[in-house]
Structure 1
C-alpha cells in the first residue's frame, strides 16, 4: 500500500500515542469495561475524532484512508 506523507505522519503519530497512552492500560480498561475520558480527549486533540467531517462543519476534512489508519493504530493499542 502506498501512503501519502500526510497519511504516514498520521499513522506514525497515532501509533506512538497508542503504544504510550493506550496499550499499557488496555487490559485493565477491557476488564473494567471502561475507556477514560482523558484518553478520548487526547485523541480529539490529536485530530482523531471528526477526521472525515468537512472543515466547514468543524472537522478535519481528511480522507477515509487516514481514518482507517487511525482506527487500526487505536485498535492495536
Structure 2
C-alpha cells in the first residue's frame, strides 16, 4: 500500500481519481453507522399504522422509521448552492 499526505489523498478523492492503492480496505470503517437506540413516544394509533405499513412493505418498523427519517432529513438539508 502506498502512502501519501492527507491533503493529496483528499485532492485525489475530490477529483474522482482511484484511491484504492492508498487504502487498506480490510481495516477501513465508515463512521456514524453503528446502531444507537432512540426512544420515541407516539400514539397507539400511529404505532398500529406503522406496524401495518412495515408489514405491507415486508420490513421491520425500525427499518421503515430509519428510512423515512433519513428521507426527511435529506430533503431538509440545505443545498450546496444556498
User: What is the TM-score with the length of structure 2 in the denominator?
Assistant: 0.23
The structure showing larger relative contact order (alpha-carbon pairs under 8 Å, at least 6 residues apart) is 1
TM-score by length of 1: 0.24
User: Structure 1 or 2: larger helix share?
Assistant: 1
